[in-house]
Amino acid sequence: MIESLYIKNYLIIKEAEIEFDRGLNILTGETGAGKSIILDALALILGERADYSKIKKDEDKLIVEGQFSFEKKEEIKNIIKELFPDEDTDNGNIILRRELNRKGTSRNFINDSPVSISDMKKFGDAIIDIHSQNEHQFLLNKDTHIEILDNYTLKPDIRESYSESYNKLRELVRNYKELEEKKDELLTKRNFLDFELKEINNVNLSPGEDTDLENELKRLENTEIISESTVSAMKFLYEDDSNAGGLIKSAVKELSKIAEYDDELKKIISDLENANILVKESSDFLISYLDKLNFDADRTEQVRNRLSDIVHLKKKYGLTLDELILKAENLQKEFNFADNFDFEIEKLLKEINDLRKEVFKKAKDISVLRKKGSIELAKNINKILNEVGLEGAEFKVNIENINGEKDDLLSSGSGKEFVRLTQNGFESVEFQIKINKGSDFTPLQKSASGGEISRIMLAIKTVLSEKDNIGILVFDEIDAGISGRIAQKTGKMLKALSGSHQIICITHLPQIAAMSDRHFHVSKKEDKNKNETVASIKTLNEEEKITEVAKLLSGENITEASSKSAIELINA
């Protein structure tokens, strides 16, 4: 349940804190007093989009904070555990907080930890169902009916499994159609692919080959100077009378005479001996290097020609050697595909047909569950319609197959009977009603008045709430278009529903207000000193509740009769 809601600087609400009851919470007050602002503020901490124009005039920050308790709701605790693995959720206490800054920034918190708006919305969707007046239009829109039915009937994993397979099928069909459209283009392109592929492959490139050839050419073109310098280096190292090796040996010999007098000299002798070994090894390498070094005119020309071929390809395609090798691999794949187009298209078509059978089977399984669930949904809604004064009305769910076509890759069937697979299966769903006995079933928008739609929506919400396990239901003027006896029945329905759910309801009807477990009155007044209008929210005691219900019955001038009627409604 929501225990309290704190609102600061939200339009005409300067600062208010509302403490809710576990059962039926009623908000009344004159039009424009700020009742809907309270529900909008609640929606804000449940992840609704921020509207910075709602920040109170001359204030910099809007704050909304809600304290919730879900001690027995393991699924809610699991959401928090998923967001905050280290958070202790055993007590079930959750605090949601949202701050909007006039600069256009928003900060969101769950239990004082920063969260994204999507995390806040995920949490909000799991705990509260808000029914506003614009949901009447939602209910009248046929396209939403299948979603309502499936939310009632199907487990999430069934829908997700179908959706995943269907999306994969649709992607394969899209690829197939694109290939069919590109068939002529691919066949024309085949000759060009063949030309480029042969041009690159004829050079027979190897990774890093251009760098190796450039180094080899430098060596071949500078053989004479390399030879001269190598010979000179050999002389300095080990051949001249004053060569490096001989000098090092002399130094070692002299130091050895005095090493016994200072141990530090022994390390120097060791280092010099190692240096002499390196000098000897370097000299031996240069001797071997010089033996292999010779000018080869044919090899020089061969390297130059090879480099020329590589440089030509690199310039022509604007690629490095490694990129040319990769291009050749891709060209080979494209060429193979174009050369085997018919085979590839048949392979893709087989994959589509196999997957379509799988998707169709899942859709058939959904259809069975959907039809069974539609009967149960209609039965339960009809029970409630009877309780809210629509005794002669009957609600039903009309399910029809979506017609498909034989050559449509998203259609399945045989003979003349084909159905088309969609995101929701192969069926369309429409809610229908007959208001009076003996009349025909017709779509909701053609036969239901505003008051009837309100009660049908209440019936649907009531039935769905038993399935979705959402503990808090919010109704913004569910009483639209009803009065008198029907209003009292609707109030009793809400009261009964509040036995298993916490309910927050805005109403103008005394019959509904009288049923409250906690009653809040919302009013507004002008502060002439500050030239502003400020809303206030008051929790009514029993006597004040009687007065407020009496006002809803007779207006501002309360009579003895209206007070008596108010008491009768409250005690009914």
Contact 499, 22 (CB under 8 A): no
Sign of CA dihedral 445, 449, 454, 457: negative
For residues 109 and 96, give the distance between their C-alpha atoms in angstroms, rounded to a whole number. Answer: 6
pTM of the model: 0.62
DSSP string, 278-290: HHHHHHHHHHHHH
CB 519, CB 552: distance < 8 Å: no
d(CA 360, CA 355) in angstroms, rounded, equals: 9
Residue type present at position 557:
N
CB 534 within 8 Å of CB 514? no
Query: What 3-state DSSP class applies to 33?
Result: coil
Residue type, 521: H
Other Cβ atoms closer than 10 A to 514: 28
Nearest to residue 179, comparing CAs of 389, 381, 343, 360? Answer: 343
Residue 389: count other Cβ atoms within 10 Å of its Cβ.
20
Per-residue pLDDT of the chain (572 residues; tens, 9 = 90+): 899 999 999 999 999 999 999 999 999 988 888 888 898 999 999 888 889 999 998 899 999 999 998 766 666 767 777 777 666 666 778 899 999 999 999 999 988 889 899 888 888 887 887 776 655 566 778 888 998 899 889 998 999 999 999 999 999 999 998 888 777 777 777 778 888 888 888 888 888 888 888 887 887 777 767 777 888 888 888 777 778 888 888 888 888 888 888 888 888 888 888 998 898 888 888 888 777 776 677 777 888 888 888 989 999 989 999 999 998 888 888 787 777 777 878 889 999 999 999 999 999 999 999 999 999 999 999 988 887 778 888 999 999 999 999 889 999 887 778 999 999 999 999 999 888 887 889 887 777 666 677 778 788 878 877 776 677 888 886 777 677 788 888 888 889 888 888 999 999 899 999 999 999 999 988 877 777 888 999 999 999 999 999 999 888 888 888 899 999 999 87
Pick the closest to residue 37 from 57, 60, 7 (CA basis): 7
Domains (range + CATH), the chain: 1-133+477-540 (3.40.50.300), 137-168+356-469 (1.20.1050), 191-338 (no CATH)
Q: Are 28 and 513 in contact (CB under 8 A)?
A: yes
